[in-house]
Structure 1
Amino acid sequence: MGLLTNILDGIFLAYFILHIPTTIVVDSQSVVPARFIPSWAKELIQWHIKTNGDHLVGTNPLWFVSLVACECFIQLPFFFFATYAFIKRRNWIRMPSILYGTHVATSMVPILVDILLSPSSGPKRVTLALIYLPYLIVPLLLVVRMVVTAQPFGDDRKRRGKYKAQ
């Protein structure tokens, strides 16, 4: 494995680990009833809306809520599996990573287009787009990382010491 691959894998691992509390505390507020959200988390999201002009989180249009629901109920479990797989260097994460990365990159397109072009976006649209942009770039990099090789973490048999030279 090359240095770039190791750096990317570290970025992916950090992304998955950080995305767990972010999804639970912040993003889930678009789909979880307010009575189940702690007041400090509600204040955090209000600060984000005010500071960054996030009209999507502020208004929660139905199409946006549907994407957040996918994040909470499909992507969140994946973050745990991916964290484990990247720590243990398990090749079985390859196809789920391709599916995840493709899904997220595709769902980020309408979000970024809305942020950049919608009349509802305010003067902070570029700042907001830059906040959301990593959620497009990292999944796309993950797809590329996983597509280029059938065994992203090398031969399992060699790595686990089970490979016998013929």
Structure 2
Amino acid sequence: MGFISVLVDAVVVVFSVVLAVTAPFFDAQIFLPDSLYPTLLVKLKRWYAEESGDYLMAEKPGFFTGLIWLEIAFLWPLSVANVYGIIARRPWVATTSLMAGVNVATTMAAIMGELLGSGKASDRLIQFYAPFMVFAFLAIIRGLLPRRNPPALSGKSKKKRA
């Protein structure tokens, strides 16, 4: 179980880093003016939308804009907390992982429903979004499974040595 736990932690950290970086610099361009971003980032977003056929990024439908607002307000801080919490082995990281996983699963259900139901999405675009469902599942599992951490000694339980 130790190897699997480390593997799940690694996946959650990698995806959390991706979300922590892309949310403010890439995804937030959906609702923030282009003038706030360096030209390179604006061009990168446009290139991505054209290359991948990501019509959600290009057309900015209302539901997608709302999901991005949720990502910035809720998921972005959780992603930063997950990276720190897993690396520093904080006991509360199970809660933040669970919260992030449920958020991503809910968001991806709406996005995948649109992609699959609209008939507009290419297989390539669906394959781009699909790993986020795997991340959501692993983050939820990480949050639900008990961890064996050595118990911390409280100040009262320490014995005085003379």
TM-score (norm 1): 0.85
Name the SS of the counterpart of 2:26 in structure 1: helix
In 2: Cα distance, 1:13 partner to 1:49 partner = 26
2:132 is matched with: 135
Alignment size in residue pairs: 157
1:29 is matched with: 29
1:77 is matched with: 77
In 2: Cα distance, 1:139 partner to 1:155 partner = 27
1:96 is matched with: 96
Q: Is the 8 A contact 1:17 1:79 kept in 2?
A: yes
Matched, 1:155 2:150: yes
In 2: Cα distance, 1:60 partner to 1:111 partner = 12
Q: Which has the larger radius of gyration?
A: 2
Q: Is the 8 A contact 2:75 2:103 kept in 1?
A: no
TM-score (norm 2): 0.87
In 2: Cα distance, 1:31 partner to 1:153 partner = 42
Deviation at 1:31, TM superposition (A): 1.8
Distance change (3 Å), C-alpha of 1:41 and 1:156: farther
Deviation at 1:41, TM superposition (A): 0.9
In 1: Cα distance, 2:34 partner to 2:124 partner = 27
RMSD: 2.1
Superposed CA deviations along residues 33-75 of structure 1, whole A, max 9, x for unmatched, are 2221221111111111111110101101111000001111211
Structure 1 runs not aligned, ≥5 long: none
1:49 is matched with: 49
Matched, 1:38 2:38: yes
Superposed CA deviations along residues 58-105 of structure 1, whole A, max 9, x for unmatched, are 101111000001111211111221111001111112122212211210
In 1: Cα distance, 2:134 partner to 2:63 partner = 21
In 2: Cα distance, 1:69 partner to 1:132 partner = 18
In 1: Cα distance, 2:38 partner to 2:10 partner = 31
Deviation at 1:155, TM superposition (A): 3.2
Structure 2 runs not aligned, ≥5 long: none
In 2: Cα distance, 1:37 partner to 1:108 partner = 26
